[in-house]
Amino acid sequence: MNFTRIFFRTSLVLIASLLGAQAVHGQDAARLDENKTEFKVFPNPVFDGEAFVSLKGFQEKDLLVVVYDMLGKEIYSRVEISENDGFLFSIDSEGHQLHEGVYLIVASKNDVIFRQKLIVR
């Protein structure tokens, strides 16, 4: 992974953290009705290592989901495909349970960013 990609991803996470649960820019604001869009990570905290992500009311057909540890290291990355007007999927690290710690879940498409902290115990 080159420095530019690391810098971009780290900047994306920091910007998302500063802007709150979702950041909306440009023409994506017209497609995203904040009152109807719901982004959840559950259960939180996680005790058995498996977490689920739900995103309802988002009009895109695919979504990039990245999980970072608190040091900014990418733990998991995958493009999810929408089914039935939303996304629902589990997060695992290539079949391995997430270790105890705090993670940042970032889901994005174009200029729309969702983020949620996940605690694994």
Rounded-to-integer distance, Cα 8 and Cα 12, Å: 6
User: Amino acid identity of 31?
Assistant: R
The pLDDT assigned to 49 comes to: 66
Please give the tally of structural domains in the chain.
1
The pLDDT assigned to 96 comes to: 64
Q: Which of 113, 110, 63 is nearest to 91 (CA)?
A: 63
| 22-66 tens-digit pLDDT | 444 333 433 445 557 889 999 999 987 688 889 888 878 889 999
Q: Coil, helix or strand for 70?
A: coil
For the segment 95-118, the average pLDDT, to the nearest whole number, is 88
- The CATH number of the domain where 33 resides is what? 2.60.40.3080
The pLDDT assigned to 73 comes to: 94
What's the pTM?
A: 0.68
Tokens representing residue 89 in the block: 């999927």
How many of the other CB atoms lie within 10 Å of CB of 48? 9
**Secondary-structure breakdown of the chain: helix, strand, coil percentages, each rounded to the nearest 5:** 15, 45, 35
Tokens representing residue 16 in the block: 């998302």
> In which domain, by residue range, is 28 found?
3-120
Whether residue 4 is predicted with pLDDT greater than 50 in this model: the reply is no
What spatial distance separates the first Cα and last Cα of the chain, rounded to whole Å? Answer: 29
| 63-95 tens-digit pLDDT | 999 999 999 999 888 898 887 778 888 887 566
The pLDDT assigned to 81 comes to: 85
